[in-house]
Structure 1
Amino acid sequence: MSAEFPVYRAGRQLGIGSLNLNPGDQVVDLGCGTGLNFGLLKERIGPTGTIIGIDRSTKMLAQARRKADRHGWTNIILIQADATTASPAFLSASITSHGGKALSDATLATYALSLMKPWEAAWDAMKQLTRPRGSLCIVDMQEPTSLFPGMTALAQSACRLGGADITAHPWKGVERDCTDVTKASARSGHLQIRTGRRRSR
């Protein structure tokens, strides 16, 4: 999403908080867009950590770079790639060629996988870019469970506007493939957050 309704910040906060990042950590932000997660991530990894932003849109990455430059964030690596078609080996090589580590301490996708087809390919890349026992988090959307009149229609409209598939439910990947899975939700269930750890084997 290039522009964001304020309601969606809650999911970003919950997801990034659930990663339990430490100063010095390297984190992949898959589908980083214009860098809406960067400030929240920087608060946790500090000046010695590294953010790897991956996105297929050169225009969004240009905005992300301007944001990083404006704030003086020098520890952000931006990579232009489509995570549904680029091999994990290519992505890893791109990261190391820019000075990052081949495997990251955490990998995050916020409101990104529901835009991707097939999202399973991007999820596989997330897993392979994360070190064993590293944290993986997916924040995405479903139809809200609220009985508030118009809530479902509003959520559906917002997803259509952004090009997201509200029925994709990509967090199923975390539930299926990770250990120590935690679950959270916000905005009457519209925002779903799943965080787990990559299996050692």
Structure 2
Amino acid sequence: MSDLDRVRQFYGRWAHLYDRLATAPGVRSWRRRAAAALDLAPGDTVVEMGCGTGANVPFLREQVGPDGRIVGIDVTRPLLDRASARAAAEGWTNAHFCAGDATQPPISGPVDAVLGTFVLGLFRDPTAVVDGWLDLCRDGGRVAVLNFQRSDHPLAAPVDLAFAAFLWAGSPGWGWPEEPVTAAFERRVGAGRTALAARTDERCYETFAGGYLGLLSGRV
């Protein structure tokens, strides 16, 4: 089974639970910070790679306003169905969702910004993926990626074990046994961040949630 099929199968099976977790109060605050890192303006067009159930859309809409445009891309149809239903219920007429692979997004640029939350660890070649996202942006556009990570806090060691278990339970079948899941995840996230940093200016990196979340953004 391909990585893409594993992702579709895993997130499709757990779409309802994923939606509840993605829109939990604490998680919403993380998503608001990720959207803010894009420094969007009214009327901008932003593309979200791996949009899931549309949990980031409210915070993106706050910035782009009614004249802006939000395009959400995801490979998992049950997640997209929930995103579309949420958009219809909320009256988000400027939010559009389409089935597509974030490694080869079915959209042409230039756009004003690209957002990827909790997706870098899913890609076998995150460097090429992030390069593609950067290519979509206009000069001066901004890309932001939000990801889980292990914490360097001195008291975090016991929680890091739980973090490893979380990755193992939440990974869609990749990594082990060819490579431990935690190592594969950290390598992929690190490679994606490196690619973003290499081609952007005005970079900003911040951690929160006790160091277990890292948010990197930069201007093309």
TM-score interval (norm. to shorter): 0.7 to 0.9
Runs of 5+ in structure 1 lacking a partner? 93-101
Deviations 1:14-53 (A, max 9, x none): 2211111111111011110111101111111111110010
Aligned sequence identity (%): 29
* Map 1:50-199 → 2, pairs under 5 A: 50-84=69-103, 86=104, 90-92=106-108, 102-146=109-153, 147-148=155-156, 150-163=158-171, 166-167=185-186, 168-169=188-189, 170-198=192-220
C-alpha change, 1:128 and 1:174, in structure 2 (3 Å) is same
C-alpha change, 1:163 and 1:187, in structure 2 (3 Å) is same
Q: In 1, Cα distance between the equivalents of 2:139 and 2:165?
A: 38
Contact 1:26 1:105 in 2 (8 A): yes
Helix, strand or coil at the partner of 1:91 = coil
C-alpha change, 1:10 and 1:161, in structure 2 (3 Å) is farther
C-alpha change, 1:137 and 1:122, in structure 2 (3 Å) is same
How many Å apart are 1:65 and its aligned residue?
0.5
RMSD between aligned alpha carbons? 2.0
TM-score by length of structure 2 reads 0.77
Q: Which amino acid aligns with 2:43?
A: G
How many Å apart are 1:149 and its aligned residue?
5.3
Q: In 1, Cα distance between the equivalents of 2:30 and 2:123?
A: 19
Q: In 2, Cα distance between the equivalents of 1:77 and 1:173?
A: 27
Deviations 1:55-74 (A, max 9, x none): 11122111110110110101
Asked if residue 24 in structure 1 is aligned to residue 43 in structure 2, the reply is yes
Runs of 5+ in structure 2 lacking a partner? 1-10, 173-183
Helix, strand or coil at the partner of 2:107 = helix
Deviations 1:117-148 (A, max 9, x none): 22223212211211111011011121112214
Helix, strand or coil at the partner of 1:61 = helix
More helix by share: 2
Aligned residues: 186
Contact 1:83 1:121 in 2 (8 A): no
Q: Which amino acid aligns with 1:158?
A: F
